[in-house]
Structure 1
């Protein structure tokens, strides 16, 4: 191996035998001519590579740290996208995130004002949002849970509802979080933006919006958080029981139903009066 000094910067050359002749092959990046052309440089550090990462909206995640190799850096990029919901769009990633946060905060403030006003009844969501009310009842006699879920739009109009039986009957907070998980799994296949989930369990609302834990309850809460990452704009709110009557009726209805029941656009008869009274 020999070193060749050309101009103001050194260029490292390697001599190899090819067909009986020595051919000088440069190990310096052929694109930028600024550094050795190893895997890290080609994929992450070269100006050409940086430009590509910038175009897909992931440039901020592709930061080389001491001790990094290709696999550790790719894993960090992947985790940053999956867990932090980094958008891969090439136009206005930061602006879109700030707009989403501002709209999320406005919706939360609006909902908080309605809750703090002293009202004990269901209230319509902000314009453009859907509200999903969830409740669970435990059927001790059969060792099952009944989960009720109803979706209404900004005008209070019925959109769809679901009642289902889930095997097992646990402590109240585990029952509530399992009900939320079932509702999230159902909703995410239909809509993933501007959704407000309401439950009359304060413990559940604080757990989803707060810190994690090590219990079985918190394990299911973590499942819910993972599902919530599929939503672009979503709120988890607490409401008093009196503001959650329709979901409660749907959950209780599982006592007399067999299997899963779903209603689209037309509400079941036993909740029509409640829906109508809360549309006003």
Structure 2
């Protein structure tokens, strides 16, 4: 009977089906009564859905009565247990434990070399929000950014382990953090290159930006700086190329009251100082020169400017561009 009517589930989840026999119809009619008094015995919890299968002791129907978040519909009892054991994960929602106190987190902090191997012994006791606030007040901007990246990746790792049963190694988390930190730094530096109508190098400049905003705001600030710089140099007919598509579209129809749109309005005002000007979108692959120039700022100090002769960091890229 199981092979015919419920081969891929248990009796409590079985459907009546199409054209059932009288015997199966009678048995199925008693399912709800059986369900009210039955409970699934939990072994490893791998096959027990926490919402749809009766597994909790008590006088109710044995299922969770909380409102079910859509994204958690398919979680199983095993997701509520400590990894590798049959004990309940009582610290499942303790963010301080996940981000700082557990052995895994301590190992990651040690590899990152932040010196924060233990929150309690480091003197940062309290709720997780208090700890983060302490870091915000005491750390440099760069170190605070690194702390946030580590915390974010530790929490993502925890979620992947709990819900997807995928374990990311300490080295994997470290690599993700360092890659994200590098990209964040890239967003906080600006590289501007002026070329003539034939693509020949005329002038270049790079410098760091205040990395206090979102990536799109940083892009808008970068364009504003470039427009001011080129205006001061006296150029009147220009095409400004950027790989920030949203910024280009905003310059054509600035609508909104966010800080991003306020910066765009400043850009539009600067555009009025040119006789002929265009802000154009190019893919990132066509904007390599500017990105390489921005990357180079982290091996330099201050603002750098080159006239007539390009810096070594973009010389090869310019040659490749001229060939293509």
Higher helix share: 2
Of structures 1 and 2, the one scoring higher in RCO (CA 8 A, sep 6+) is 1
Larger Rg: 2
Q: TM-score normalized by structure 2?
A: 0.42
Q: TM-score normalized by structure 1?
A: 0.48
